[in-house]
């Protein structure tokens, strides 16, 4: 199937699944434990109904959105994804360049397989930096300092990893750090020669921002300690707020009280996110968590939503319920996995064209005007 016959993000996912060895596909596609949250994120969007309004002139549709005085072409951007080059070689740079070319935000993960400096160069002023707070304060400060020098002005601090998620697929696939070429992995690679050859050319991906630090890591526990910490608290966030002079957002907020504390501490925004269902299986889908958060903090800071965006209409649903903007993670990853750069472009195009069509059908020519009035009152 050619990329032009991929009608949806789900089609791109299926195409990626055919081209990528199972262990690498599962690394991105999988979720926590029995993957309840992964499924519920998408199902919950479908439960939000919007009521189209007719006899409105929709001959011109405007999806432009202004965030922090910068105008973007669409109301969605790329969420941070770690180790994405293991999914498809050069995925990080491909997506950073795509976001710049299409004029949408690109959030560089601190666990990316490309350095934050190279990603800043590729995404230019559309690049934001996502920070995992390390159990080693020097590591955290090192990343912040590098992000400043590289020119990032937006810092997205991820809050939802007090412990690493338990992902059953990765355990079954025996993914290990450092990476081991087990006979099963070799067999899977042989079934996907294009992936294997391209990967060989690019070399084994690593967590590039920490490459030196992780050289001596012999276990996953070592890696975890470097990347994240179980003791990240509001006091640390207060210090980060004082330290970072640019815009600061907190990612992974699900509780209205946590949203209120972020606003009280002077954060510029939050990302209502459950990490795409990768951290816990028992929590709420983000679109269900959103209304209480909107009630608590609307108007005090920027509200972004992610987790489960697969359709342009999902971005409208989030806006109708009070999110200013959305991020998509896997939607872009599936695109690049389905076909490299053209696949990434197709993922953007699918979401954007679905969004434009849905705005026309909703009778809302300006994305900015979508709001609670568009929610269906039909019970």
Binding site for ligand FNR (CB under 6 A): 28, 41, 79-82, 109, 111, 130, 158, 251, 273, 275-276, 278, 306-309, 328-331
Considering Cα of 317, then 322, then 325, then 330, what sign does the dihedral take?
negative
Residue closer to ligand FNR, measured from CB, 72 or 132: 132
Nearest CB to ligand FNR, comparing residues 122 and 364: 122
82 vs 142, beta carbon nearer ligand FNR: 82
Given the residues 202, 255, 275, 374, select the one marked as catalytic. Answer: 275
**Residue 4: helix, strand or coil by DSSP?**
helix
The minimum distance between CB 198 and ligand FNR, in angstroms, equals: 19
Instruction: Show the tokens assigned to 117.
Output: 């400096």
CA distance linking residue 236 with residue 202, whole number of Å: 38
Nearest residue (CB) to ligand FNR, 306 versus 345: 306
For residue 368, the minimal CB distance to ligand FNR (Å) is 23
CB of 79 to ligand FNR, least distance (A): 3
Cβ-based burial of 11 (10 A; exposed 0-12, middle 13-18, buried ≥19): middle
Separation CA 47–CA 143 (nearest Å): 40
Pick between residue 130 and residue 188 the one whose CB is nearest to ligand FNR.
130
Residue whose CB is less far from ligand FNR, 293 or 364: 293
Active-site residue 202, yes or no? no
Residues 6+ apart with CB under 8 A from 274: 37, 41, 160, 252, 254, 280, 283, 284, 285, 286, 289, 307
Give Cα 45 to chain centroid, integer Å: 17
DSSP category for residue 88: S
Q: What is the three-class DSSP state of 109?
A: coil
Q: How far is the CB of 77 from ligand FNR (least distance, A)?
A: 11
Which residue number, 248 or 364, has a Cβ lying nearer to ligand FNR?
A: 248
- The Cα 178–Cα 191 span in angstroms is 23
Position of minimal CB gap to ligand FNR: 329
Q: Please state, in angstroms and as integers, the Cα–Cα distance from residue 135 to each residue in 16, 69, 132, 258, 280, following that order.
A: 35, 34, 10, 22, 21
3-state class (DSSP) for residue 89: coil
Report yes or no: 324 and 76 within 8 Å, Cβ to Cβ: no
- For strands 70-72 and 65-67, give the pairing: antiparallel
Q: Select 80 or 340, whichever has its Cβ closest to ligand FNR.
A: 80
Smallest distance from ligand FNR to CB 27, Å: 6
Q: Which residues pair with 302 in a beta bridge?
A: 269
CA distance 133 to 223: 13
- Cα separation, 86 vs 66, in Å, equals 33
CB of 270: closest distance to ligand FNR in angstroms? 12
314/308 Cα distance (integer angstroms)? 8
Known catalytic residues are 275
């Amino acid at each position: 199937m050619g990329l032009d016959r991929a009608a949806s993000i789900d089609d791109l996912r299926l195409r990626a699944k055919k081209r990528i060895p199972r262990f690498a596909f599962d690394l991105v596609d999988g979720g926590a434990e029995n993957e309840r949250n992964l499924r519920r994120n998408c199902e919950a969007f479908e439960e939000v109904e919007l009521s189209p309004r007719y006899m409105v002139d929709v001959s011109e549709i405007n999806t432009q959105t202004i965030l922090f005085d910068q105008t973007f072409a669409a109301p969605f951007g790329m969420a941070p994804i770690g180790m994405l080059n293991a999914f498809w070689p050069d995925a990080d740079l491909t997506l950073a360049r795509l976001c710049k070319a299409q004029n949408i935000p690109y959030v560089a993960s601190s666990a990316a397989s490309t350095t934050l400096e190279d990603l800043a160069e590729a995404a230019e002023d559309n690049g934001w930096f996502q920070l995992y707070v390390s159990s080693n304060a020097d590591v955290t400060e090192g990343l912040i300092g590098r992000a400043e020098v590289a020119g990032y002005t937006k810092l997205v601090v991820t809050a939802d990893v007090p412990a690493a998620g338990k992902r059953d697929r990765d355990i079954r696939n025996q993914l290990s750090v450092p990476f081991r070429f087990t006979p099963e992995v070799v067999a899977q690679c042989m079934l996907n020669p294009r992936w294997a050859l391209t990967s060989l050319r690019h070399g084994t991906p690593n967590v590039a921002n920490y490459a030196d630090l992780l050289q001596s890591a012999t276990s996953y526990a070592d890696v975890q300690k470097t990347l994240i910490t179980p003791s990240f608290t509001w006091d640390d966030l207060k210090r980060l707020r004082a330290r970072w002079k640019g815009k600061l957002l907190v990612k992974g907020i699900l509780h209205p009280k946590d949203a209120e504390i972020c606003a009280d501490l002077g954060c510029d925004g939050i990302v209502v996110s459950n990490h795409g269902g990768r951290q816990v299986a028992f929590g709420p889908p983000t679109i269900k968590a959103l209304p209480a958060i909107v009630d608590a903090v609307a108007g005090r800071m920027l509200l972004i939503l992610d987790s489960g965006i697969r359709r342009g209409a999902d971005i409208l649903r989030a806006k109708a319920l009070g999110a200013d903007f959305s991020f998509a993670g896997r939607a872009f990853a599936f695109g690049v996995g389905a076909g490299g750069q053209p696949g990434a472009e197709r993922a953007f195009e699918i979401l954007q064209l679905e969004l434009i069509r849905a705005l026309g059908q909703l009778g809302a020519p300006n994305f900015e005007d979508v709001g609670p009035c568009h929610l269906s009152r039909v019970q």
